[in-house]
Amino acid sequence: AQKVTQAQTEISVVEKEDVTLDCVYETRDTTYYLFWYKQPPSGELVFLIRRNSFDEQNEISGRYSWNFQKSTSSFNFTITASQVVDSAVYFCALSTNTGNQFYFGTGTSLTVIP
- Binding residues for another protein, rule: CB under 8 A, are 33, 35, 37, 42-47, 50, 52, 91, 95-97, 99-107
Q: What is the DSSP string of 57-70?
A: --EEETTEEEEEEG
Query: To the nearest whole angstrom, how small is the minimum distance from the Cβ of residue 75 to another protein?
Result: 15
Q: What is the C-alpha separation between 15 and 113, in angstroms, rounded? A: 6
Closer to another protein by Cβ: residue 16 or 102: 102
Query: To the nearest whole angstrom, how small is the minimum distance from the Cβ of residue 12 to another protein?
Result: 19
Closer to another protein by Cβ: residue 14 or 46: 46
Cα 77 to Cα 36, 51, 68: the distances in Å are 8, 12, 9
